[in-house]
Amino acid sequence: MSKKKSPQQFAQQTLPQPWWKETTVYQVYPRSFMDSSGDGIGDLKGIISRLDYLQELGIETIWLSPFYTSPQQDIGYDISHYCDVSPEYGSLEVFDHLLVEVHKRKMKLVLDMVLNHTSIQHPWFREAASGRENPKRNWYVWRDGRKPGGKAPPNNWRSMVGGSGWHYHRETKQWYWTSFLSFQPDLNYRNPEVKQEMFKVLRFWLDRGVDGFRLDIIGAVYEDPYFRDNPFIWKLLPDEENTGFLFRSHRMTQNHPDNFKFARELRRLVDEYSSRSNPSSERVLIGETFGSPEVLRRYCGQEQPDALHLVFLFKTMAVPFSAPAFRKLVEEFEKVFPAPFIPTYVYSNHDRFRRFSVLGKDTRKAKLNSFFQLTVRGVPFIYYGEEIGMCQGRIKPKDTRDAVARHIGTVPAAKIKVLNRLTNGAIQRDGCRTPMQWDSTLQAGFTQPTAEPWLPVNENSTKVNTEAQKERGDSLYACYQQLLELRRLYPALHRGSLELVPKELLPKAVLGYIRSTPEGEQLLMLLNFSRKIQRFSLPVSTSDSEAEVQTLFSTAARSEQKSPFPSPGKLQPYEGLLLIILCPDQGPSASDPA
């Protein structure tokens, strides 16, 4: 009898864990994904027509950015009706169809939910603004101003995008608070009516069958109830760990402890929808908020994972592309999010520079980045087009649609460029929202060739598109597809523990980690972050243990596929190499007779 375990045998052994821990999420920005109607704006029917593409790529969960009724001042992050669909995207009927089609493909659908604020055009705000005595007045955060006549804002709180977050309402002579832009008034969650109403909204979509929510700026929901000034901080510009800037922190306006309690309340609500007998029914909550990993962990629970399931850790985006820096990041995430918690790995989204551009449009680096993202212990988030290396679009000032860019519009263009670089694209966000590049035709197959897309299609779409990349075995698309397949096939990749290879055992430019399952499946990942060939000795002993190491996958074209893998071995520039360590049987396995 063979002493070596085959990968397929392992695949049947590990006990299942919640689907959301093992899944791979793909963010669809509805406006830019696929237009079925020819108006130049992506829509839900368009998304339905591309579900097969996502399934073929190997995606398991789709996160949809907002498609609700909205004046679209912040492209849907300003909602005026939470339980309906904006007409340019479709209707509730089309949404239900989309959900059925997603589930038919055994995929999950997670919606973006903006709890923190509504649109200024929401009927609730209109009512609230109609008079101080209006019953909806207290649904938002209103304060009297300082100085005689109340003409100065109530305190020094700034919004996340700069400038005071307080806006004077002339008719009622009070100020309303916005964490983001002036047309996105914050709801007042200290009013129980508001909370109940928003819980109803969540239930509306959960009852329809959605698999969870991505919670927009969830750390801004509760502010300091005493409206104390935000303290001084030694910080000029915001970063992924601390959003304070211009020497003022956000301590009173972000990550207030009441938000952690709120996260637990939300968890209790979604847990009502999961049945113990059907683990697939569990609904997931993914928090978008900013802070150090320690602070963000508090959204998932202190001792127990009893609050949000996942939280974005945007620190990933700020880490230099080097083995020591990535190693440090993994060490930190593993320490702060040990099992049963799980970190997330995200590199691009609709608010930040496209990763491919950040990596200097170098496909080798992009492949290595995806290799890391899809093999490390965590839930990966892929942004539409990331799998084909879509790059940051060049947007002319006249084409600017992003409300943040317009808000900062008075700053000269050159300064905006510098600021945008320093904030990883957070203040001119159109460049990462250009239409998906499906094929080489005019308008890249996103809309009809004669239509004018809402944002211009990238110039490189004739070369960079899904059709072209699907034909090539060495494309970035192919790399994603293969990695996603391996992730599904090998339990060590989607549920295994992670152990870093001691750095003394590898060259400085090489990062190594092992993922393993209790049943003995062991995969070794080696990542060369340099543009030079790196030689190394296998960091596992194969001579006395009879272990054998074989290549499963590489991001580089490997001429020799020697089996077993030789030690010392070689890594190509920017190569990500996945090896399987096959050990002799250590005991009976599920497939062995008892």
Instruction: Give 410's DSSP letter.
Output: T
346 sits near ligand GLC (criterion: CB under 6 A): no
Of 115 and 527, which has the nearer Cβ to ligand GLC? 115
Contact 301, 264 (CB under 8 A): yes
- Nearest approach, Cβ of residue 357 and ligand GLC (Å): 18
Of 317 and 580, which has the nearer Cβ to ligand GLC? 317
258 tagged catalytic: no
Residue 544 to residue 466: CA distance in whole angstroms: 47
Of 243 and 534, which has the nearer Cβ to ligand GLC? 243
217 sits near ligand GLC (criterion: CB under 6 A): yes
Angle at CA of residue 489, ends 487 and 495, nearest 5°: 55
Figure out which of the listed residues 50, 350, 364, 433 binds ligand GLC, where binding follows CB under 6 A: 350
Residue 585's CB is within 10 A of a number of other CB atoms, namely 13
Contact 288, 216 (CB under 8 A): yes
Of 351 and 521, which has the nearer Cβ to ligand GLC? 351
430 sits near ligand GLC (criterion: CB under 6 A): no
Sketch the per residue contact string, 171 through 210, with ligand GLC: x for CB under 6 A, - otherwise: ---------x------------------------------
Of 430 and 575, which has the nearer Cβ to ligand GLC? 430
Of 48 and 79, which has the nearer Cβ to ligand GLC? 79
- Nearest approach, Cβ of residue 323 and ligand GLC (Å): 30
Of 180 and 347, which has the nearer Cβ to ligand GLC? 180
Residue 456 to residue 432: CA distance in whole angstroms: 11
Of 77 and 371, which has the nearer Cβ to ligand GLC? 77
DSSP calls for 276-298: TTBGGG--EEEE---S-HHHHHT
Residue 318 to residue 416: CA distance in whole angstroms: 19
SS3 322: coil
Of 47 and 217, which has the nearer Cβ to ligand GLC? 217
216 sits near ligand GLC (criterion: CB under 6 A): yes
Of 74 and 387, which has the nearer Cβ to ligand GLC? 74
Q: Is residue 320 classed exposed, middle or buried when 0-12, 13-18 and 19+ CB atoms within 10 A define those classes?
A: exposed
387 sits near ligand GLC (criterion: CB under 6 A): no
- Nearest approach, Cβ of residue 71 and ligand GLC (Å): 13
Output b/e per residue, 53-78; b: 16+ Cβ within 10 A: ebeebbbbbbbbbbbbbbebbbbbbb
- Nearest approach, Cβ of residue 406 and ligand GLC (Å): 12
Residue 31 to residue 35: CA distance in whole angstroms: 8
Contact 67, 86 (CB under 8 A): yes
| H-helix or E-strand spanning residue 498 | strand 497-500
Within 288-327, the residues that bind ligand GLC by CB under 6 A are: 288
Cβ-proximal residues to 542 (8 Å cutoff; 6+ apart), any chain: 548, 549, 564, 567
Figure out which of the listed residues 35, 60, 74, 521 binds ligand GLC, where binding follows CB under 6 A: 74
- Nearest approach, Cβ of residue 216 and ligand GLC (Å): 5
Position with the least CB separation from ligand GLC: 77
Figure out which of the listed residues 47, 57, 102, 114 binds ligand GLC, where binding follows CB under 6 A: 114
* Catalytic residue (choose from 78, 88, 216, 575): 216
Contact 569, 579 (CB under 8 A): no
74 tagged catalytic: no
137 sits near ligand GLC (criterion: CB under 6 A): no
60 sits near ligand GLC (criterion: CB under 6 A): no
- Nearest approach, Cβ of residue 160 and ligand GLC (Å): 8
62 sits near ligand GLC (criterion: CB under 6 A): no
Contact 318, 239 (CB under 8 A): yes
The site for ligand GLC, by CB under 6 A, has a size of: 9
* Terminal C-alpha separation, the chain: 15
240 sits near ligand GLC (criterion: CB under 6 A): no
510-516 and 497-500 strand pairing: antiparallel
Residue 558 to residue 196: CA distance in whole angstroms: 58
Residue 566 to residue 585: CA distance in whole angstroms: 22
- Nearest approach, Cβ of residue 351 and ligand GLC (Å): 5
What single-letter amino acid sits at 231? P
Nearest to residue 373, comparing CAs of 141, 546, 232, 555? 555
Contact 319, 326 (CB under 8 A): yes
- Nearest approach, Cβ of residue 201 and ligand GLC (Å): 15
Q: Is the dihedral of CA 203, 205, 208, 211 positive or negative?
A: negative
Figure out which of the listed residues 10, 33, 77, 371 binds ligand GLC, where binding follows CB under 6 A: 77
256 sits near ligand GLC (criterion: CB under 6 A): no
| H-helix or E-strand spanning residue 257 | helix 257-271
* Catalytic residue (choose from 74, 78, 223, 288): 288
- Nearest approach, Cβ of residue 24 and ligand GLC (Å): 20
351 sits near ligand GLC (criterion: CB under 6 A): yes
Distances in Å between the alpha carbon of 381 and those of 12, 236, 310, 387? 26, 29, 11, 11
- Nearest approach, Cβ of residue 180 and ligand GLC (Å): 4
Active-site positions read 216, 288
**Which chain residues interact with ligand GLC by CB under 6 A?**
74, 77, 114, 180, 216-217, 288, 350-351
